[in-house]
Amino acid sequence: MTDKSDNGALRVPERIVPVPAHASAQARAMLSQPVPPKAQYPALDDAAGWKAHIATMDANVATMFAGRLGDFAHTLTEWREEGALAYDIRPEHWSDADRRVYLYIHGGGLIMGAGEVCKTMTLASTGSYNVRVVSVDYRMPPDHPYPASLDDCMVFYRALLREYQPHQIIIGGGSAGGNLAAATILRARDEGLPLPAAAVLMSPELDLTESGDSHQTNAGLDSMGSLMQANLLYAGGRDLTDPYISPLFGDMAKGFPPTFLSTGTRDLFLSNTVRMHRKLRNAGIHAELHIKEAAPHAGLGSGPEDMEIEIEARGFCMARWAGR
């Protein structure tokens, strides 16, 4: 039975949580998959161990995103700027007269997702937008802890500001990409740069301290576990509550653009997303919250529930680019 301990904590008994019958076939298949074994993280100083771990995880992510990859005709060129690397992706028939640009920041727990995985994630997420996308292949741990990743994102935001008006730029990303998208905005603002037109934060990893209630309530419901060891590797000894490391703790009242946020009811990052939405709304900033029934962090197998949210996000971006 449910019970309380002396400090008010809830004791929630073991239970069996069925796959919801009303979910789509793809979602039910996703939710029925065996739970993968929890990742065994290397020690923080074991760089070789981390690299092996990252290679394994990258292979998994590449497989997951490959199924989401539409057939979007495009050109992709490498863009090197101040030592940082991005992919400059332009759809077929694109012209420079189209002044919309999406600065995309890939996910991967702030340690994974470089190179080919970055390209795959970018196209799967933004290929249908039919706009120019600049996707940052930012440096990461173990070789490059904070602030290398954020520095690289800043390089390309500054570069885009030389080519575009701020209201033509949208910054977005999922998971760790949501962290870096928000951190880029906070740091750009603090450095006196103008804000972009909008932010898109899909199941964002906004709080590396993992203080949100859903880290507890959705533990075991989301096959993703705590990422704390990776968070510590990323922070490299810095305070995890630094707003550039955990953007949830930023002061939104000092300025933040209109923001699209999405998550799922089983997502370990449900609280990250909900708390950011409340902070933005409390600061008087336009912010939209969209939540997928029964979805864990990884989504619902690219089924219709995932596609609905992609359509919402794209519609939000198109409205922002149109100045609405």
- Both tokens of residue 311? 């359509």
Q: Is 289 in the site for its own copies (CB under 8 A)?
A: yes
Q: Is 312 in the site for its own copies (CB under 8 A)?
A: yes
| Window 246-265: contact mask with its own copies (x via CB under 8 A) | -------------------x
Torsion angle in degrees (nearest 10) through CA of 38, 43, 46, 47: 60
Interacting residue with its own copies among 106, 132, 187, 277 (CB under 8 A): 277
Neighbouring residues of 169: CB distance < 8 A, sequence distance ≥ 6:
101, 102, 103, 157, 160, 161, 196, 197
Cα gap 21→17, rounded to integer Å:
12
CB of 95 to its own copies, least distance (A): 31
| Window 213-232: contact mask with its own copies (x via CB under 8 A) | xx-xxxxxx-x---------
Comparing CA positions, the residue from 154, 180, 183, 181 lying closest to residue 82 is: 154
Q: Is 297 in the site for its own copies (CB under 8 A)?
A: no
Q: How far is CA 284 from CA 48, 195, 257, 302, 320, in A?
A: 46, 15, 11, 33, 17
CB of 229 to its own copies, least distance (A): 19
Residue 230 amino acid letter: A
Cβ proximity to its own copies: between 135 and 263 the closer is 263
Cβ proximity to its own copies: between 20 and 67 the closer is 20
Cα gap 206→195, rounded to integer Å:
19
Number of residues that bind its own copies (CB under 8 A): 57
Q: Is 270 in the site for its own copies (CB under 8 A)?
A: yes
Q: Is 89 in the site for its own copies (CB under 8 A)?
A: no
Binding to its own copies (CB under 8 A) within 29-68 occurs at: 31-35
Stretch that binds its own copies, among 40-48, 58-66, 104-112, 292-300 (CB under 8 A): 292-300
Stretch that binds its own copies, among 46-54, 154-162, 173-181, 205-213 (CB under 8 A): 205-213
Stated as kind and residue range, the H or E segment containing 64 is helix 47-66
DSSP string, 18-36: PPPTTS-HHHHHHHHSPPP
3-class state of residue 25 by DSSP: helix
Cβ proximity to its own copies: between 221 and 228 the closer is 221
Q: Is 70 in the site for its own copies (CB under 8 A)?
A: no
Q: Phi and psi of 235, rounded to 5°?
A: -70, -25
**CA triplet 302, 306, 309: central angle to 5 degrees?**
150
Cβ atoms of residues 136 and 86 within 8 Å: yes
Interacting residue with its own copies among 144, 167, 290, 314 (CB under 8 A): 290
Neighbouring residues of 197: CB distance < 8 A, sequence distance ≥ 6:
166, 167, 168, 169, 170, 257, 258, 320, 321
Cβ proximity to its own copies: between 191 and 293 the closer is 293
Q: Is 17 in the site for its own copies (CB under 8 A)?
A: yes
CB of 26 to its own copies, least distance (A): 13
Binding region for its own copies (CB under 8 A):
2-5, 7-22, 28, 31-35, 211-214, 216-221, 223, 265-266, 270-271, 274-275, 277-278, 281-282, 288-294, 305, 308, 312
